[in-house]
Amino acid sequence: MNDSLNVLILSQNDYKENDALVKTFSLEKGIVTFIAKGLLKSESKNASACMPFSESTLTYDDKEGSGLQILHSASLITSHRVLREDLNKQTIMTIICELTEQLLKDNYDPSLSQDIYKVVQQCIATLEKTDKYAHVMTYFLVSSLIWLGVEPQVDECTLCGDNQINSLSMDEGGFICVNCQKEIQSTIYTTEFLYAFRIVNKVTYDNFERYLNYKKPEKILVDILYEFMKYHTNISLKSWVFIEKWSIIN
Protein backbone atom coordinates (compact mmCIF):
# COMPACT_ATOMS: atom_id res chain seq x y z
CA MET A 1 0.00 0.00 0.00
CA ASN A 2 1.48 3.33 -1.03
CA ASP A 3 1.17 6.19 1.44
CA SER A 4 1.84 9.77 0.44
CA LEU A 5 2.66 12.87 2.42
CA ASN A 6 3.14 16.54 1.51
CA VAL A 7 6.20 17.78 3.38
CA LEU A 8 8.66 20.58 3.84
CA ILE A 9 12.20 19.19 3.61
CA LEU A 10 14.08 20.31 6.74
CA SER A 11 17.48 18.80 6.07
CA GLN A 12 19.36 16.16 4.15
CA ASN A 13 22.34 14.25 5.53
CA ASP A 14 24.60 11.55 4.12
CA TYR A 15 23.71 8.14 5.51
CA LYS A 16 25.58 5.21 4.03
CA GLU A 17 27.09 4.76 0.60
CA ASN A 18 24.75 6.65 -1.72
CA ASP A 19 21.85 6.83 0.72
CA ALA A 20 20.70 9.94 2.55
CA LEU A 21 18.58 10.73 5.59
CA VAL A 22 15.90 13.28 4.74
CA LYS A 23 14.16 15.01 7.64
CA THR A 24 10.68 16.34 6.91
CA PHE A 25 7.95 18.37 8.51
CA SER A 26 4.29 17.88 7.65
CA LEU A 27 0.97 18.91 9.14
CA GLU A 28 -0.22 15.31 9.27
CA LYS A 29 2.80 13.65 10.88
CA GLY A 30 5.03 16.35 12.37
CA ILE A 31 8.67 15.31 12.03
CA VAL A 32 9.44 12.17 10.00
CA THR A 33 12.86 11.03 8.80
CA PHE A 34 13.12 9.12 5.52
CA ILE A 35 15.91 6.90 4.28
CA ALA A 36 16.31 7.89 0.64
CA LYS A 37 18.15 5.07 -1.09
CA GLY A 38 20.50 6.08 -3.87
CA LEU A 39 19.69 9.76 -3.42
CA LEU A 40 23.36 10.77 -3.68
CA LYS A 41 23.83 9.06 -7.05
CA SER A 42 23.98 11.57 -9.88
CA GLU A 43 21.08 9.93 -11.72
CA SER A 44 18.69 10.00 -8.74
CA LYS A 45 15.24 11.11 -9.84
CA ASN A 46 14.34 12.25 -6.34
CA ALA A 47 17.27 14.64 -5.86
CA SER A 48 15.59 17.98 -6.51
CA ALA A 49 12.48 17.10 -4.50
CA CYS A 50 14.64 16.20 -1.47
CA MET A 51 16.67 19.43 -1.37
CA PRO A 52 16.36 21.34 1.93
CA PHE A 53 13.48 23.87 2.04
CA SER A 54 11.67 22.25 -0.91
CA GLU A 55 8.02 21.33 -0.55
CA SER A 56 7.37 17.91 -2.03
CA THR A 57 5.05 14.93 -2.11
CA LEU A 58 6.72 11.78 -0.81
CA THR A 59 5.45 8.22 -1.30
CA TYR A 60 6.37 5.36 1.04
CA ASP A 61 4.88 2.38 2.87
CA ASP A 62 4.01 3.68 6.30
CA LYS A 63 5.62 1.65 9.06
CA GLU A 64 3.35 2.50 11.96
CA GLY A 65 5.12 3.82 15.01
CA SER A 66 8.45 4.22 13.30
CA GLY A 67 10.16 7.60 13.13
CA LEU A 68 12.23 6.26 10.24
CA GLN A 69 10.50 5.46 6.94
CA ILE A 70 11.81 4.27 3.59
CA LEU A 71 11.20 6.67 0.73
CA HIS A 72 9.85 5.31 -2.56
CA SER A 73 9.60 8.47 -4.60
CA ALA A 74 9.59 12.25 -4.23
CA SER A 75 8.00 14.82 -6.49
CA LEU A 76 8.51 18.54 -6.22
CA ILE A 77 5.65 20.91 -5.39
CA THR A 78 7.65 24.12 -4.80
CA SER A 79 11.42 24.39 -4.97
CA HIS A 80 11.96 27.62 -2.95
CA ARG A 81 15.30 27.77 -4.76
CA VAL A 82 16.02 31.37 -3.78
CA LEU A 83 16.35 30.23 -0.15
CA ARG A 84 19.28 28.00 -1.09
CA GLU A 85 20.99 30.39 -3.48
CA ASP A 86 21.48 33.22 -0.99
CA LEU A 87 23.85 32.32 1.85
CA ASN A 88 22.09 34.56 4.38
CA LYS A 89 18.65 33.19 3.56
CA GLN A 90 20.05 29.68 3.69
CA THR A 91 21.47 30.34 7.17
CA ILE A 92 18.19 31.62 8.58
CA MET A 93 16.24 28.74 7.00
CA THR A 94 18.71 26.16 8.36
CA ILE A 95 18.19 27.55 11.87
CA ILE A 96 14.40 27.65 11.46
CA CYS A 97 14.39 24.04 10.23
CA GLU A 98 16.62 22.79 13.06
CA LEU A 99 14.52 24.59 15.65
CA THR A 100 11.29 23.23 14.12
CA GLU A 101 12.68 19.73 14.47
CA GLN A 102 13.63 20.38 18.11
CA LEU A 103 10.18 21.78 18.89
CA LEU A 104 8.33 18.76 17.51
CA LYS A 105 10.65 15.78 17.66
CA ASP A 106 9.48 14.32 20.96
CA ASN A 107 5.81 15.16 20.83
CA TYR A 108 3.64 15.25 17.76
CA ASP A 109 0.94 17.70 18.72
CA PRO A 110 -1.39 18.50 15.76
CA SER A 111 -2.33 21.99 16.95
CA LEU A 112 1.28 22.94 17.71
CA SER A 113 2.30 21.55 14.29
CA GLN A 114 -0.32 23.73 12.65
CA ASP A 115 0.87 26.87 14.47
CA ILE A 116 4.50 26.19 13.60
CA TYR A 117 3.59 25.39 9.98
CA LYS A 118 1.81 28.72 9.55
CA VAL A 119 4.74 30.68 10.99
CA VAL A 120 7.34 28.76 8.96
CA GLN A 121 5.36 29.47 5.78
CA GLN A 122 5.22 33.16 6.69
CA CYS A 123 9.00 33.21 7.27
CA ILE A 124 9.62 31.48 3.92
CA ALA A 125 7.39 33.93 2.05
CA THR A 126 9.15 36.91 3.68
CA LEU A 127 12.65 35.60 2.99
CA GLU A 128 11.70 34.93 -0.62
CA LYS A 129 10.66 38.50 -1.28
CA THR A 130 12.76 40.58 1.15
CA ASP A 131 16.16 40.78 2.87
CA LYS A 132 14.69 41.11 6.35
CA TYR A 133 16.72 38.25 7.85
CA ALA A 134 16.93 39.73 11.34
CA HIS A 135 13.20 40.42 11.51
CA VAL A 136 12.43 36.86 10.44
CA MET A 137 14.94 35.38 12.88
CA THR A 138 13.62 37.33 15.86
CA TYR A 139 10.02 36.50 14.92
CA PHE A 140 10.74 32.78 14.79
CA LEU A 141 12.68 32.86 18.08
CA VAL A 142 9.93 34.80 19.85
CA SER A 143 7.29 32.41 18.50
CA SER A 144 9.39 29.47 19.70
CA LEU A 145 9.71 30.92 23.21
CA ILE A 146 5.90 31.08 23.35
CA TRP A 147 5.49 27.52 22.02
CA LEU A 148 7.97 26.36 24.64
CA GLY A 149 6.12 28.27 27.36
CA VAL A 150 9.17 30.31 28.39
CA GLU A 151 8.44 33.71 26.83
CA PRO A 152 9.97 36.65 28.73
CA GLN A 153 7.80 38.88 30.90
CA VAL A 154 7.97 42.29 29.17
CA ASP A 155 4.93 44.13 30.57
CA GLU A 156 6.21 44.93 34.06
CA CYS A 157 8.90 44.01 36.58
CA THR A 158 8.84 40.23 36.82
CA LEU A 159 9.58 40.43 40.57
CA CYS A 160 7.31 43.21 41.88
CA GLY A 161 5.10 44.37 39.00
CA ASP A 162 6.51 47.91 38.92
CA ASN A 163 6.65 49.78 35.57
CA GLN A 164 9.94 51.67 35.93
CA ILE A 165 12.10 49.18 34.05
CA ASN A 166 15.87 49.47 33.53
CA SER A 167 17.03 45.88 33.35
CA LEU A 168 16.46 42.38 32.03
CA SER A 169 17.17 39.16 33.89
CA MET A 170 17.62 35.78 32.23
CA ASP A 171 17.31 34.15 35.64
CA GLU A 172 14.07 35.86 36.67
CA GLY A 173 12.60 35.53 33.17
CA GLY A 174 12.06 39.12 32.05
CA PHE A 175 12.03 42.82 32.87
CA ILE A 176 13.36 44.10 36.20
CA CYS A 177 12.55 47.51 37.72
CA VAL A 178 15.02 50.09 39.06
CA ASN A 179 14.48 49.04 42.69
CA CYS A 180 14.69 45.29 42.17
CA GLN A 181 17.75 45.77 39.95
CA LYS A 182 19.62 47.26 42.91
CA GLU A 183 18.97 44.08 44.85
CA ILE A 184 19.66 41.42 42.25
CA GLN A 185 22.29 43.36 40.25
CA SER A 186 20.87 42.27 36.89
CA THR A 187 22.34 43.80 33.70
CA ILE A 188 21.12 47.34 32.93
CA TYR A 189 20.07 48.19 29.35
CA THR A 190 19.14 51.45 27.63
CA THR A 191 15.47 52.42 27.46
CA GLU A 192 15.69 52.23 23.68
CA PHE A 193 16.93 48.65 23.80
CA LEU A 194 14.30 47.57 26.36
CA TYR A 195 11.62 49.16 24.18
CA ALA A 196 12.85 47.24 21.12
CA PHE A 197 12.96 44.05 23.21
CA ARG A 198 9.36 44.58 24.29
CA ILE A 199 8.19 45.26 20.71
CA VAL A 200 9.78 42.10 19.32
CA ASN A 201 8.26 39.99 22.08
CA LYS A 202 4.82 41.22 21.02
CA VAL A 203 5.21 40.08 17.40
CA THR A 204 2.61 37.53 16.33
CA TYR A 205 1.39 35.92 13.12
CA ASP A 206 -1.18 38.69 12.73
CA ASN A 207 1.07 41.74 13.23
CA PHE A 208 4.30 40.38 11.66
CA GLU A 209 3.79 42.31 8.39
CA ARG A 210 3.64 45.54 10.37
CA TYR A 211 6.74 44.56 12.38
CA LEU A 212 8.70 44.37 9.10
CA ASN A 213 8.48 48.18 8.92
CA TYR A 214 10.30 48.55 12.25
CA LYS A 215 14.04 49.13 12.23
CA LYS A 216 16.24 46.07 11.96
CA PRO A 217 16.71 44.35 15.33
CA GLU A 218 20.26 44.53 16.69
CA LYS A 219 22.44 41.44 16.91
CA ILE A 220 22.47 41.62 20.72
CA LEU A 221 18.66 41.39 20.76
CA VAL A 222 18.72 38.28 18.59
CA ASP A 223 21.44 36.79 20.81
CA ILE A 224 19.50 37.46 24.02
CA LEU A 225 16.41 35.73 22.62
CA TYR A 226 18.51 32.69 21.76
CA GLU A 227 20.28 32.74 25.15
CA PHE A 228 16.89 33.02 26.82
CA MET A 229 15.74 29.86 25.06
CA LYS A 230 18.94 27.98 25.92
CA TYR A 231 18.71 29.08 29.55
CA HIS A 232 15.10 27.98 30.10
CA THR A 233 14.93 24.85 27.89
CA ASN A 234 17.35 22.12 26.84
CA ILE A 235 17.39 23.37 23.25
CA SER A 236 20.72 24.28 21.72
CA LEU A 237 21.16 24.63 17.97
CA LYS A 238 24.16 23.39 16.01
CA SER A 239 23.33 25.76 13.15
CA TRP A 240 23.48 28.85 15.39
CA VAL A 241 27.24 28.98 14.77
CA PHE A 242 26.53 30.14 11.19
CA ILE A 243 24.98 33.36 12.47
CA GLU A 244 28.09 33.99 14.56
CA LYS A 245 30.42 33.22 11.69
CA TRP A 246 28.82 35.29 8.98
CA SER A 247 27.40 37.92 11.32
CA ILE A 248 24.57 38.42 8.87
CA ILE A 249 22.39 40.10 11.41
CA ASN A 250 24.56 43.21 11.55
Shortest distance in whole angstroms from residue 179 CB to Zn ion: 5
Burial class (CB in 10 A: 0-12, 13-18, 19+), 163: exposed
End-to-end CA distance of the chain: 51
Nearest approach, Cβ of residue 152 and Zn ion (Å):
15
177 near Zn ion, rule: CB under 5 A: yes
Q: Can you name the residues that pair with 174 across neighbouring β-strands?
A: 153, 169
Specify the stretch interacting with Zn ion by CB under 5 A; choose among 113-121, 135-143, 177-185, 199-207. 177-185
- Between 152 and 217, whose beta carbon lies closer to Zn ion? 152
Q: How far is the CB of 158 from Zn ion (least distance, A)?
A: 8
Rounded to whole angstroms, how far apart are CA atoms 16 and 9? 19
Q: Which of 97, 180 has the CB closer to Zn ion? A: 180
Amino acid found at 18 = N
Applying CB under 5 A, what is the total number of residues that bind Zn ion? 6
Q: What are phi and psi of 197, to 5 degrees?
A: -65, -40
Residue 41 to residue 18: CA distance in whole angstroms:
6
- Regarding 165 and contact with Zn ion (CB under 5 A), the answer is no
Among 68, 146, 160, 184, which residue interacts with Zn ion (rule: CB under 5 A)? 160
d(CA 140, CA 120): 8
Q: Cβ 195 to Zn ion, closest distance in Å?
A: 18
> Which residues from 77-96 bind Zn ion, rule CB under 5 A?
none
Choosing from 103, 124, 157, 194, the residue that interacts with Zn ion (CB under 5 A) is 157
| DSSP one-letter code for 188 | B
| Binding status of residue 162 toward Zn ion by CB under 5 A | yes
How far apart, in whole angstroms, are the C-alpha atoms of residue 80 and residue 92? 14
Q: For the CB of residue 171, give the shortest distance to Zn ion in the complex, in Å.
A: 14
d(CA 137, CA 150): 17
Residue 159 near Zn ion by CB under 5 A = yes
Query: Is 157 or 249 the residue whose CB approaches Zn ion more closely?
Result: 157
Q: Which is nearer to Zn ion, 163 or 234 (CB)?
A: 163
Beta strands in 101-236 (DSSP E): 165-169, 174-177
Residue 117's identity, in one-letter code, is Y
Q: What does the binding site for Zn ion look like in residue numbers (CB under 5 A)? A: 157, 159-160, 162, 177, 180
